[in-house]
Structure 1
Amino acid sequence: MRQAVEHFFQLYAEAYSNFDVDKVTELFSLPCLFLTDDSKLMMAEVSSLEKTIRHQFNLYRSLGVAQVKNRVQHLVRLSESMVFASLYWYFCDANGKVLQNCHTSYTLQRSGEHWRLVAVMIDDERFALKSIQP
């Protein structure tokens, strides 16, 4: 299971690095949740998810982020088809220099052979990204 989940997040990072809204959207299961310390956002429509992803990509571009990388820190099997994953993300410029890193947690659910994101717990990304704003 660990290898499959790490592969999933490799695909996720590649889609993010390519600013590929369609590919990132495909990696979610709807409805899905985005949680922070002070907000809970449920997305039930593809158009809302795409809008959110586009907004995030625009922010990354404005900060000079050209590539994202990740490292799975922790993985917990929740059920036969669900897993909790905790990741460190690295936001890099075009030369591969790490501009900032952050921690984000996810709940994934397997549907057939494919894993999909059902919840994203944004731990400190907003603060990490603010620190690299011009």
Structure 2
Amino acid sequence: MRQAVEQFFQQYATAYSNFDVKQVSALFSLPCLFLTDDSKVLMAEITALEKTIQHQFDLYRGLGVAQVRNRVQHLVRLSDSMVFASLYWYFCDAEGKVLQNCHTSYTLQRHDEQWLLVSVMIDDERFALKSMR
């Protein structure tokens, strides 16, 4: 299971590095939930999800981010088809220099043979992005 989840997040990082809204949104199961310390946002429609992803991409580009990398910190099996994952993300410039990092947690559910995101818990990304300005 760990290898499959790590491959999923590599695919996610590649899609993010390519700023590919369609490819990133295809990795989510709808409805999905985005959680921060002060908000809970339920995404039930693909157009809302794509708009949110595009907004993030615009922000990243404006901050000079050209690629993202990740490292899986923890994986917890919740059931045969669900897993909780905790990751460190590294936002890098075009030369690969790390501009900032952050911690984000996810709940994934397997549909058929594919893992999909059902919730995203943004632990410190807002702080990380603010500090890059």
After TM superposition, the score normalised by the length of structure 1 is: 0.99
Give the 3-state SS of the residue equivalent to 1:110 in structure 2.
Answer: strand
CA distance in structure 1 between the aligned counterparts of 2:131 and 2:53, rounded to whole angstroms: 20
Q: Deviations over 1:6-25 (max 9, x none)?
A: 00000000000000000000
Residue in 2 that maps onto 1:117: 117
Task: For residue 51 of structure 1, report the CA deviation from its aligned partner.
Answer: 0.2
CA distance in structure 1 between the aligned counterparts of 2:41 and 2:131, rounded to whole angstroms: 24
Task: For residue 130 of structure 1, report the CA deviation from its aligned partner.
Answer: 0.7
Moved over 4 A (4+): none
Pair 1:43 & 2:23 matched: no
Identity within the alignment, %: 81
User: How well do the aligned residues superpose, as a CA RMSD in angstroms?
Assistant: 0.2
Q: Deviations over 1:44-88 (max 9, x none)?
A: 000000000000000000000000000000000000000000000
Q: Which runs of 5+ in 1 are unaligned?
A: none
Give the 3-state SS of the residue equivalent to 2:37 in structure 1.
Answer: coil
Pair 1:21 & 2:24 matched: no
CA distance in structure 1 between the aligned counterparts of 2:89 and 2:57, rounded to whole angstroms: 15
After TM superposition, the score normalised by the length of structure 2 is: 1.00
Q: Which runs of 5+ in 2 are unaligned?
A: none
Give the 3-state SS of the residue equivalent to 1:130 in structure 2.
Answer: helix
Residue in 2 that maps onto 1:82: 82
CA distance in structure 1 between the aligned counterparts of 2:52 and 2:26, rounded to whole angstroms: 14
Pair 1:101 & 2:127 matched: no
CA distance in structure 2 between the aligned counterparts of 1:88 and 1:103, rounded to whole angstroms: 5
Residue in 2 that maps onto 1:69: 69
Give the 3-state SS of the residue equivalent to 1:65 in structure 2.
Answer: coil
CA distance in structure 2 between the aligned counterparts of 1:86 and 1:132, rounded to whole angstroms: 22
* Number of residues of Structure 1 aligned to a counterpart in Structure 2: 133
